[in-house]
Amino acid sequence: MHDDLGVHAVDDASPGDGFAVSLERFASALSPSEHTILIAALNAATEPWMRMAARPVEELLEPEEAQLLDHLVKRPPVKEHEH
């Protein structure tokens, strides 16, 4: 369930973490259909970039695209030449 709600435990709790814990407790008492509705409501209230960032890369990219992205991220930085 943590993955669905994007809730992650943090040692130094902030006010947002308290909300996340309360939301997790609330969600754990819901029926499967109510849980689905809650997830849909939370997703609708989340900014598009945040929704995309929370999704697994496999849902967003084809395997070849994910492999290319991994290659680009691992590429060493290019050193600039002095003039």
9-58 pLDDT tens trace: 444 556 667 888 999 999 999 999 999 999 999 888 988 888 888 888 88
Q: Where does residue 17 rank: exposed (0-12), middle (13-18), buried (19+ CB within 10 A)?
A: middle
The rounded distance, in Å, linking the Cα atoms of 13 and 57 is 28
| Extents of the domains making up the chain | 2-57
Q: What is the pLDDT of residue 6?
A: 54
The rounded distance, in Å, linking the Cα atoms of 41 and 33 is 12
Tell me the average pLDDT across 55-74.
87
* Count of CB atoms situated within 10 Å of the CB of 10: 10
